[in-house]
Amino acid sequence: MAPEPPLPGAEPVTSADTPPLLTMSGITKSFPGVRALDGVDLEVRAGEVHCLLGQNGAGKSTLIKVLAGAHQPDGGRITWRGDTVTLKSPIAAMRLGVATIYQELDLVEGLSVAENVFLGHEPTAAGFVVRGREARNAAAGLLRRLGHPEIDPARLVGELSAAQQQIVSMARALSHDVRLIVMDEPSAALDPDEVANLFRIVADLTADGVAVVYISHRLEEIRRIGDRVTVLKDGRAVAGGLPAKSTPTRDVVALMTGRNVEYVFPERPARAALAEPLLTVRGLTRADEFAPLDLDVRPGEIVGLAGLVGSGRSEILETIYGARKPDAGQVHVDGRALKTGSVRAAVRAGLGLAPEERKAQALLMLESITRNVSVSSMSRFSRGGWLDRGAEFTAARRATRELSLKPDRPSAPVRTLSGGNQQKAVLARWLLRGCRVLLLDEPTRGVDVGARAELYAVIRRLADDGLGVLLVSSEVPEVLGLADRVLVLREGRVVHTAPARDLDEHRVLDLVMEGSPAS
Amino acid sequence: MTHPTTPARQEGPLLDGGGPGSGKSASGGGGGSPWSARLFRADVRTLSLIGVLVGLALIGGLTKPDAFLATSNVQLILTQASVIGVVTVGMTFVITSGGIDLSVGAIVALASVWATTVATQEYGFAGILFTAVIVGLGCGLVNGVLIAYGGMVPFIATLAMLASARGLALQITEGKTQMVTIPSVLDLGERDAYLLGIPPLVLVFAAVTVIGWLVLNRTTFGRRTVAVGGNAEAARLAGIDVRRQRLYLYLLSGLCCGIAAFLLIVLAGSGQNTNGNLYELDAIAAAIIGGTLLSGGRGTVTGSVLGVLIFITIQNIFALNNLESATQQIAKGAIIVAAVLVQRRTSHTP
Amino acid sequence: MSDKPSLPTSATRRRLLFGAAALSGGAFLTACTSNEPKEGSGGQAADAPVADDKPGKPVTIGFAGPQADHGWLNAINVNAKERAKKYKDVTLEITEGSNDTAAQIGQIDTLINKKVDVLVILPADGKAMTQAGLKAMRAGIPVVNLDRIFANPQAYRCWIGGDNYGMGLNAGHYIGEQLKDKKNAKVVELAGLDNLELTKQRTEGFDAALKNYPNVKKVARQAAEFTVESGQSKMSQLLQAQKNFDALWNHDDDQGVGALRAIEQAGRDDFFMVGGAGALSAMQAIESGESVLKATVLYPPTMAASAIDLARALGQGKGIGGMAEFEIPSSITLYSAVVTKDNVKQYMSTGFK
């Protein structure tokens, strides 16, 4: 067995009183029309987990891109172990020992794991002949170290799951002589057990003296692994070096939002579910994805699907919606059977999907709010193919106002909106369409804490107006807080159904892990 | 009244077309600096193209005052822009939808030779026009079916069409030039047919441009085209029949090629298998310098037509000044690079 | 002093131009051979076996040409086929035309493997195809190189082709003669594809001839692409740029169709036009006398017929009648005759569509 390569950057753990590894002071950065960073200070010590918190648009992404050498700051000073440095390019940052793992992973899907890990610094013979075996062995060592020996270095990255790809990305970071790793929302696409592995890796790294800058929306994660916290708001650091474990949540939330809320779920109306089901699913199956599924959604009801990533949640929604063709089974809306495998039939019957990947699957990023809202209802504003843009505008604005979408300027391009407002634009699309059943896949992904409560209220209000809602979320508190009834999925199979108030987070987690109701 | 005016029309005009011209009408939204900055940039794109055209006109006027500024020269430039212009309007739709049509030149060639065979010419004017349009549509249909329903990549499907259509055109003509013998067709290309000083070819070009602009900016068809190009998956999940839309788009491009082939027959008084040589590259280049995104999602008929006019005007100025075609090609390449650079600068967002 | 014309008198010139026209392309071999060799006055020429129409030893001729995407190239194929059909002792193995050098090399390899007796090759690109010619020659198959010449003389036994420089020269002389009494005469040139060597040669010849006529000045030159469309486009711009001139030389009759269309559309008839190559439509226009096209300079596609004659002669080990040598020459440059209304009838049959 080949000896495991040691994790690079190993040096004695530094204590709080040694000089900081990195300081950034007074960093400013403007883009045309936007001041993204307005004098940010950040200090990171070797061996610590430094958490960066802030709502979307607070400047986190810009700051880490400056740190990664991808953006050049307009002003400010960066010092590295006491020396002033300029990070002219990503390569310069990498040479210093800064590695960044972006949320949208920057891997080449058509290359193997090993090739990705050593992309740009392949072990070579005679300067140009890539030594494939050596690269594979070294990659295998790194992957073992990261707790994922099952990933074959020779496999194509495109064939791996999102979580595995993240591990590859991390292996790539570690293949350099790294002293600081920036992780941008690393847990967003991970299941609880994978998150646990991630935390173990972070702990290993810091034990070796590597500093980690950790970005997450999940406060509980920050409590678990963070050492110190810097909070960004509107391009400024409103607080730096707060103790991660002991700062009260309400203080952190207040710093981020200026308000004192985190998860606030609307009240469930007390109501008897007497109405006939709007959406009926019977025996819907896709081999290898989910077992025959029966499901009802009544008007005014929010039904939640809880389960791990890979448990078939998104696949179920997409199959109901006709975006995937089922092997068997039927979907009825208002008692009428839908042509399976046809999105158009589903939309005509009154289904609407807010997909998981909002930017990739729902939005026309170059287009205005109006056009994004009206895209599914164009025939209503046209005669003989000719658009009545006045009517379109009025109707779209009515829908966006109903959801309090900000800004209230329907001609604004949708890509300038925050995540929460982009989600509202998608909901407004279905509202305008007059849809009867909403299928929501991770409706609050990428939506910052402050905007979530508002989105929850919107979803509940739509249900109160008589819509049926089928909700998928990997955040168990969200499903429990928002849904009336919860179906727990494990490996494509419903293992438990119960009213949301009869379940709690631990119970659901037990169910998704074990598959049988723990008692 | 086909489309009644509503109050909203006054208080908040919508973003239109995504074309460079769209900026003006969307300003009603008012306010925020990034948005108004974007509007300004959108306008800059069209203005910069018009600026280039004015600059070229100045160069032409200064170097060859009597020849360049003559009415007959303006007529000439517009006439020569007509054939490739009509093709470019179709290409603009295809590129806006995220596709590409490499077969346009070959379709023009095939339609023009099929429409000028001895057999076709027996049916006179209508026979030629009908054949040109039907051949164009037929090729477009094949492209569309292969791409939309056969799952072929547009680049490959239309490349295959390019090869087959050119081959078929050669087979029909055996390399010979097919002279048009129908007087009514020939007359259409001559001075006597000008309406108020406007050549009929230019009238067709103008009509195709206006219709193209309206379809792209004012109809559900145009909106769907932009949606498919901007994000095909999102369009599909929004309930748009993406495949049917793609089929229609290649049909549209084929139709434009058929019309262009007829114009070329009128212009050249003949059909030849070498017709439409490298139209695909000229049309793509004109659309791109006009501001249509090669990746799809944004298209501008106005920009494309300006792009065509710029190319033809350069050609004209070089010919009037008796410069070599080699220099002309260099200038054309430089213009493409400059236009794309200007656009990158004016439309860059963080 | 140096540019003082040092040329024959006009009478001599005319004889030079039109007298030579009798030797029209492919007709020349049979014209020569149809005269029975007379009993010599002691010369050895009489003893040399010469090619004639009578059947001889059977010969298989392989023919590889480019894709016939142009009227002239199509005429090349037709001429070769027609000529071969005429001889009972000739079998023609003709390949699918290709513009791709690699494909053409493959076709020639196939012909070599088939062990044809003689090869006639009109390469898509002469320089690039040299190796194919060498290979055939080494395999013992004599090669008749048609028009586009190989880079190495060892690659062919006999080259026969047109004279691009001479074409320009004769066009220039014809125009010069027509305009020699006109003061400040202006001439316009519509060239072919500028990145081809032959276009440059034609222009050089044209310019050289015009130097003999100090009163004639070339005022503009634009290059088209041998296509009708480009001819129409470039010509209409030339007409826009040049409000008056006296003569136009157009390198190629195919693009001339477009040029004539442009001239017609502009309603211009203040000059005369000379074409190039010898298309049927051009000859018909010359004969009718109604259009501005008054003459065309030949680049005879009948050379393909002659190439078949030469190949047959090579295959049968014969020489050319009317020449003293035992062997056929290693190089034959054809004359670019000027076809005018006076002699067009004679050439009409060689005009290609």
Domain match, A132 and A276 both? no
pLDDT band of C29, cuts 50, 70, 90: very low
Using a CB-CB cut-off of 8 Å, the residues of chain C touching B70 are 240
Domains held by chain A: number: 4
Please check whether residue A374 lies inside any domain of the structure: yes
Distance of CA C225 to the CA centre of its chain: 18
Cβ B101 vs Cβ B280: under 8 Å: yes
Q: How many CB atoms lie within 10 A of CB C267?
A: 10
Q: A386, A410, A434 — which closes off a domain?
A: A434
Q: Neighbours of A (≥3 Cβ pairs closer than 8 A)?
A: B
pLDDT band of A125, cuts 50, 70, 90: low
- The values of phi and psi at residue A346, to 5°, are -65, -45
C-beta atoms of B191 and C267 within 8 A:
yes
pLDDT band of B37, cuts 50, 70, 90: low
Please check whether residue A22 lies inside any domain of the structure: no
Name which of A225-239, B118-132, B306-320 the model is least confident about. A225-239
Residues of C within an 8 Å Cβ radius of B: 67-71, 73-74, 194-195, 219-223, 225-230, 232-234, 236-238, 240-241, 243, 254, 257-258, 261, 264-267, 279, 281, 353
Q: How far apart are CA B154 and CA B295, in angstroms?
A: 13
Min Cα separation B248/chain C (Å):
29
Name which of A147-151, A228-232, C255-259 the model is least confident about. A147-151
Q: A149, A172, A195 — which closes off a domain?
A: A172
Please check whether residue A284 lies inside any domain of the structure: yes
Min Cα separation B71/chain C (Å):
10
DSSP A359: I
Q: What is the pLDDT of residues B109-141, one digit of tens each?
A: 999 999 999 999 999 999 999 999 999 999 999
Using a CB-CB cut-off of 8 Å, the residues of chain B touching A410 are 12, 14, 29
- pLDDT value at position C45? 40
Helices C228-241/C253-266 angle, 10° precision: 40
Q: What is the CATH number of the domain that holds A304?
A: 3.40.50.300
pLDDT of residue B347 exceeding 60: no
In B158-187, the residues whose Cβ lies within 8 Å of chain C are 170, 174-177, 179
Q: What is the pLDDT of residues B238-286, one digit of tens each?
A: 999 999 999 999 999 999 999 999 999 999 999 999 999 999 999 999 9
CATH C-level class of B51-347: mainly alpha
Name which of A129-133, A256-260, B16-20, B346-350 the model is least confident about. B16-20
Determine the average pLDDT of the residues in A325-342.
93
Nearest CA in chain A to B220: A385
Cβ B255 vs Cβ B136: under 8 Å: yes
Token duo for residue A329: 């089974």
Domain match, A365 and A343 both? no
Please check whether residue A483 lies inside any domain of the structure: yes
Mean predicted lDDT score pLDDT of chain B: 86
Highest mean pLDDT, choosing among A403-407, C96-100, C217-221: C217-221
Out of B66, B76, B321, whose CB is closest to C236? Answer: B76
Q: What is the pLDDT of residues C131-180, one digit of tens each?
A: 999 999 999 999 999 999 999 999 999 999 999 999 999 999 999 999 99
Mutate to test the interface with B, among C77, C81, C222, C228 (most CBs of B within 10 A): C228
Q: What is the pLDDT of residues C108-131, one digit of tens each?
A: 999 999 999 999 999 988 888 999
Q: What ipTM, to 2 d.p.?
A: 0.81
Mean predicted lDDT score pLDDT of chain A: 85
Domain match, A277 and A342 both? yes
Q: What is the pLDDT of residues A293-321, one digit of tens each?
A: 999 999 999 999 988 766 788 899 999 99
Name which of A167-171, A299-303, B3-7, B116-120 the model is least confident about. B3-7
The DSSP code sequence of B8-74 is HHHH-PPP-SSSTTHHHHGGGG---HHHHHHHHHHHHHHHHHHHHHHHHHHHHHHHSHHHHTSHHHH
pLDDT band of A170, cuts 50, 70, 90: confident
The larger pLDDT score, comparing residue A355 to residue A258, is at A355
In B122-161, the residues whose Cβ lies within 8 Å of chain A are none
Q: What is the pLDDT of residues C246-303, one digit of tens each?
A: 999 999 999 999 999 999 999 999 999 999 999 999 999 999 999 999 999 999 999 9
Q: How far apart are CA B20 and CA C283, in angstroms?
A: 52
Q: Containing domain of residue A387, as a range?
A: 361-434
Model confidence, pTM: 0.78
Q: A223, A238, A262 — which closes off a domain?
A: A262
- pLDDT value at position C48? 54
CA angle A434, A438, A440 (to 5 degrees): 145
Cβ A12 vs Cβ A209: under 8 Å: yes
Task: Please give the domain boundaries of chain C with CATH numbers for all domains.
Answer: 25-162+301-334 (3.40.50.2300), 164-298 (3.40.50.2300)
| Host H or E run for residue A101 | strand A98-101
Using a CB-CB cut-off of 8 Å, the residues of chain C touching B274 are 69-70, 225-229
Cβ C210 vs Cβ C218: under 8 Å: yes
Domain match, A242 and A379 both? no
Q: Does B344 touch chain A (CB under 8 A)?
A: no
Min Cα separation B107/chain C (Å):
15
Q: Does B272 touch chain C (CB under 8 A)?
A: yes
Q: How far apart are CA B204 and CA B211, in angstroms?
A: 10
Please check whether residue A213 lies inside any domain of the structure: yes
Min Cα separation B301/chain C (Å):
24
pLDDT of residue A363 exceeding 50: yes
Q: What is the pLDDT of residues A267-285, one digit of tens each?
A: 887 665 578 899 999 999 9
Q: Does B233 touch chain C (CB under 8 A)?
A: no
The larger pLDDT score, comparing residue C89 to residue B48, is at C89
Using a CB-CB cut-off of 8 Å, the residues of chain B touching A387 are 3, 218-220, 223
pLDDT band of C322, cuts 50, 70, 90: confident
pLDDT band of C346, cuts 50, 70, 90: very high
3-state secondary structure chain C: CCCCCCCCCHHHHHHHHHHHHHCCCCHHHHHHHHCCCCCCCCCHHHHCCECCCCCCCCEEEEEECCCCCCHHHHHHHHHHHHHHHHCCCEEEEECCCCCCHHHHHHHHHHHHHCCCCEEEECCCCCCCCHHHHHHHHHCCCCEEEECCCCCCHHHCCEEEECCHHHHHHHHHHHHHHHCCCCCCEEEEEEECCCCCHHHHHHHHHHHHHHCCCCCEEEEEEEECCCCHHHHHHHHHHHHHHCCCCCEEEECCHHHHHHHHHHHHHHCCCCCEEEEEECEHHHHHHHHHCCCCEEEEEECCCCHHHHHHHHHHHHHCCCECCCCCCCCCCCEEECCCCEEECCCHHHHHHHCEC
- pLDDT value at position C311? 94
Pairing of strands B270-271, B178-179: antiparallel
In A394-413, the residues whose Cβ lies within 8 Å of chain B are 394, 397, 407, 409-413
Domain match, A303 and A343 both? yes
Mean predicted lDDT score pLDDT of chain C: 85
pLDDT band of A357, cuts 50, 70, 90: confident
Domain match, A390 and A451 both? no
| Host H or E run for residue B289 | helix B279-290
pLDDT of residue B9 exceeding 70: no
Determine the average pLDDT of the residues in C55-80.
88
Q: What is the pLDDT of residues B141-174, one digit of tens each?
A: 999 999 999 999 999 999 999 999 999 999 998 8
Nearest CA in chain B to A395: B8
User: Closest Cα partner for C99 from B151, A267, B175, B153?
Assistant: B175
Determine the average pLDDT of the residues in A104-121.
82
- pLDDT value at position A482? 92
Please check whether residue A390 lies inside any domain of the structure: yes
Highest mean pLDDT, choosing among A36-40, A473-477, B129-133, B317-321: B129-133
- pLDDT value at position A5? 47
Q: Does A10 touch chain B (CB under 8 A)?
A: no
Nearest CA in chain C to B261: C229
Determine the average pLDDT of the residues in A207-229.
86
C-beta atoms of B175 and C69 within 8 A:
yes
Q: Does B324 touch chain C (CB under 8 A)?
A: yes
pLDDT of residue C5 exceeding 60: no
pLDDT of residue A172 exceeding 90: no
Q: Where are the domains of chain B?
A: 51-347
Highest mean pLDDT, choosing among A169-173, C94-98, C295-299: C295-299
Min Cα separation A203/chain B (Å):
34
Q: What is the pLDDT of residues A409-460, one digit of tens each?
A: 898 999 888 888 999 999 999 999 999 999 999 998 878 777 888 899 999 9
> Which residues, 6 or more positions from B21, have their beta carbon under 8 angstroms from its beta carbon?
B46, B300, B302
